[in-house]
Structure 1
Amino acid sequence: MKALVYDGVETLTFRDVPDAVPDPEQELVRVVASGICGSDMHAYLGHDDRRPAPLILGHEAAGVIVGGDRDGTRVTINPLVGCGICAACTSGRDNLCADRKIISMPPREGAFAEFVAMRPANLVDVPDDVSLDKAALAEPLAVSWHAVRLGLVALDPAASRSALVLGGGAIGLAAALALKAQGLSSVTVAEPNEVRRSFLEKRCDIPCVPAGTGSYGLVVDAVGYAATRASASSLTEPGGVIVHIGLGEDTGGLNIRRMTLQEITFIGTYTYTPQDFRDTCSAIFDGRLGPLDWAEERPLSDGARAFADLRSGAVAAPKIILHP
């Protein structure tokens, strides 16, 4: 099969690789759409030791089952696989499983390929009236759906129902959409890139500002740098919540004294639970997350150029979907 292979820092090669072969407990999925994630970009830049070259990246995918009783079924893929037996998994929190694995991280190859093998429990059927490009957005949307759900549960009743999202990339946009879908009407995105701000306002109807000002009941850091954490801890109201999704830098930025004195809750969030993934799919299918027409589409064979364009900041759209 053909695949886009990460062969070294800023080096991607579209070439033949061994066919994906499912084990007896897996389905073979022909990939129709696969999105480029920020973690793929981290690997591409050589910033992720968990993804050594050579490796097929990609974990945001949808496609069609090939063979077996469900041949031809359209599905979207939950790429996160827990052990199934630990306390985290048995309580429905597979995302905290110590032995969790995700496709695009050894020993699992990713979805920038013609085929990928997945267990049936990680596949969600897609209605015929929903495009597989939209269905491929389920993974990044689920990341933010999970984060927003946790943040709203922790929000003090006295805090305002206003939210600021730091970062207008795919996860930031997904957070803004999830906030609206889960009941908040006052949502603003802080994004320094003027081209991206214009895209989000015109294409996605999301209010944007160059940088956050004022105060908010809930602040979502979809970037994760010291500078954005500093903004989050200064812009959150007393009794408010900071939801931290971004993985830009490990340390720095938080004003712990202010957060302590103002009883500001900080929540770190990682991926999603299986139920969050299913709930996100339902919200995609019934339209609660909007038209989801803001991704740019390119052939997988042009994947190296797509990564280079993202690296240079030449892409206005918050997501690129690759088609094998």
Structure 2
Amino acid sequence: MLNTVYRLVAPRRIEIAFTDIDLFGEDVIVRPTHLSVCNADQRYFQGTRDPEVLAKKLPMALIHEGIGEVICDPTNTFKPGDSVVMIPNTPVESDEFIAENYLRSSKFRASGYDGFLQEFVAIKPDRLVSLPDDINKYVASFTEIVSVSVHAISRFERFSHARRDKIGVWGDGNLGFITSLFLKTMFPDSEVYVFGIDEEKLNYFSFADKCYVTTKIPKDLELDHAFECVGGNGSQIAINQIIDYIKPEGTISILGVSEYPVPINTRMVLEKGLRIFGSSRSGREDFVKTVELYKSHPEIVEYLESLVGFKKEVRNVADISIAFEEDIKKAFGKTIMKWVK
């Protein structure tokens, strides 16, 4: 079957390519329906990645956050019409100690490997997770970034000590919103404090116990553990603030992506005996757990609806480009493309 792939060939230039899909192989054929634009997609689209990286990875179809409808499944794992979330991480081996999303051999869609910006996606059945029929599909479209937070929180549960009275989250963007929401859901007895730079954005965090602008944090505030969800140029300030306010032997989870090395106050890390760990991407078990949380805590989906920002129906390259350009202007939330066929 002939498939249309929308590949970024140069910054802000998307072109159509055609590939052939085997209908009788071992892959499930999924038609993407709702695709969410990530900051990583934008860095490729705008060409802000290192020129050597762009030269190595382009041309490439963008988007690693998305859901779709099953068209056919030779393995009979899914039925035609099933709504599924697609997992971008694609392992080619397994390891007893290293999770699939940390194996250097794993492929990741929209990072040197065609993403979901295609008419149809051929994908292994274990890279799909069924969605509830009644779920808000715009929210479900960014399940991938939600699963990243769930993954980090699951690791935090393993690494941190059991005193979790007060947990801080630095970051008033999408990742900070999702992480603090799921912390409050998964640790209902803990107080979750959110720290950001934009009071207007912090107003969205109605589920948090307290919100602080980072220039107005009480000097006597202490936290048991903390999550850094800032990234970029703000990573240094955020991590060092966390080191200042966290109690001895606390755990710091780093999720924010920075293109450059970040200097931190290692003297206080040593003096306080802090544990710092990083988390990146997610695997199948994180997607399964995320969907289970959607089902068991429907209020999560209602809160996540606050992140649905610009919605764009797309039919062609011009529509896709408009969605990316509009996404650049957003201050908060996610841009969602809905395929219209």
TM-score normalized with structure 1 length: 0.86
Tell which deviates more after alignment, 142-151 or 78-87: 78-87
Instruction: Answer whether contact 1:88 1:96 (CA < 8 A) is retained.
Output: no
Q: Secondary structure at the match of 2:225?
A: strand
Q: Secondary structure at the match of 1:275?
A: helix
User: Which amino acid in 2 is paired with 1:323?
Assistant: K
Match of 2:223 in 1: 216
Gapped regions of structure 1 (runs ≥ 5) = none
Instruction: Answer whether contact 1:22 1:118 (CA < 8 A) is retained.
Output: no
Q: 1:103 aligns with which of 100, 109, 120?
A: 109
For the pair 1:170 / 2:168, whether they are aligned, the reply is no
Q: Distance in 2 between matches of 1:288 and 1:22?
A: 40
Match of 1:82 in 2: 91
- Once the 2 structures are TM-superposed, how far is the Cα of residue 221 of structure 1 from its aligned partner? 0.9
Instruction: Answer whether contact 1:19 1:115 (CA < 8 A) is retained.
Output: no
For the pair 1:42 / 2:46, whether they are aligned, the reply is no
User: Which amino acid in 1 is paired with 2:230?
Assistant: V
Q: Secondary structure at the match of 1:75?
A: strand
Q: 2:336 aligns with which of 299, 304, 321?
A: 321
For the pair 1:131 / 2:136, whether they are aligned, the reply is yes
Match of 2:275 in 1: 265
Percent identity of equivalent pairs: 21
- Once the 2 structures are TM-superposed, how far is the Cα of residue 245 of structure 1 from its aligned partner? 0.8
Q: 1:254 aligns with which of 227, 242, 264?
A: 264
- Once the 2 structures are TM-superposed, how far is the Cα of residue 257 of structure 1 from its aligned partner? 1.1
- Once the 2 structures are TM-superposed, how far is the Cα of residue 120 of structure 1 from its aligned partner? 0.2
Q: Secondary structure at the match of 2:300?
A: coil
Q: Distance in 2 between matches of 1:144 and 1:161?
A: 20
Instruction: Answer whether contact 2:228 2:239 (CA < 8 A) is retained.
Output: yes
- Once the 2 structures are TM-superposed, how far is the Cα of residue 270 of structure 1 from its aligned partner? 1.5
- Once the 2 structures are TM-superposed, how far is the Cα of residue 230 of structure 1 from its aligned partner? 1.9
Instruction: Answer whether contact 2:5 2:18 (CA < 8 A) is retained.
Output: no
Q: Distance in 2 between matches of 1:109 and 1:80?
A: 12
1:170-189 correspondence runs (5 A) = 170-184=174-188, 185-189=190-194
Residues 111-138 of structure 1: per-residue CA shift (max 9 Å, x gap): 1233222100010111211133232222
Q: Distance in 1 between matches of 2:109 and 2:20?
A: 12
Q: Distance in 2 between matches of 1:206 and 1:133?
A: 27
**Aligned residues, how many?**
313
Q: Distance in 1 between matches of 2:271 and 2:244?
A: 12
Residues 42-79 of structure 1: per-residue CA shift (max 9 Å, x gap): 22233162773322110111010112442211111111
Residues 5 and 192 from structure 1, CA distance in 2 versus in 1: closer, same or farther, beyond 3 angstroms?
Answer: farther
1:299-314 correspondence runs (5 A) = 299-300=313-314, 302-311=319-328, 314=329
Q: Distance in 2 between matches of 1:241 and 1:262?
A: 10
Match of 2:125 in 1: 120
Q: Distance in 2 between matches of 1:76 and 1:143?
A: 14
Q: 1:289 aligns with which of 287, 300, 310?
A: 300
Q: 1:61 aligns with which of 66, 70, 73?
A: 66
- Once the 2 structures are TM-superposed, how far is the Cα of residue 206 of structure 1 from its aligned partner? 7.7
- Once the 2 structures are TM-superposed, how far is the Cα of residue 22 of structure 1 from its aligned partner? 4.9
Q: C-alpha root-mean-square deviation of aligned residues, in Å?
A: 2.5
Structure (1 or 2) with the larger CA radius of gyration: 2
Instruction: Answer whether contact 1:243 1:267 (CA < 8 A) is retained.
Output: yes
Q: Secondary structure at the match of 1:293?
A: helix
Residues 77 and 25 from structure 1, CA distance in 2 versus in 1: closer, same or farther, beyond 3 angstroms?
Answer: same
Instruction: Answer whether contact 2:87 2:283 (CA < 8 A) is retained.
Output: no
Instruction: Answer whether contact 2:94 2:100 (CA < 8 A) is retained.
Output: no
Instruction: Answer whether contact 1:229 1:252 (CA < 8 A) is retained.
Output: no
Q: Distance in 2 between matches of 1:39 and 1:88?
A: 28
Residues 16-52 of structure 1: per-residue CA shift (max 9 Å, x gap): 3315625712111110111111211222233162773
Q: Distance in 1 between matches of 2:118 and 2:244?
A: 43
Q: Secondary structure at the match of 1:281?
A: helix
Instruction: Answer whether contact 2:180 2:208 (CA < 8 A) is retained.
Output: no
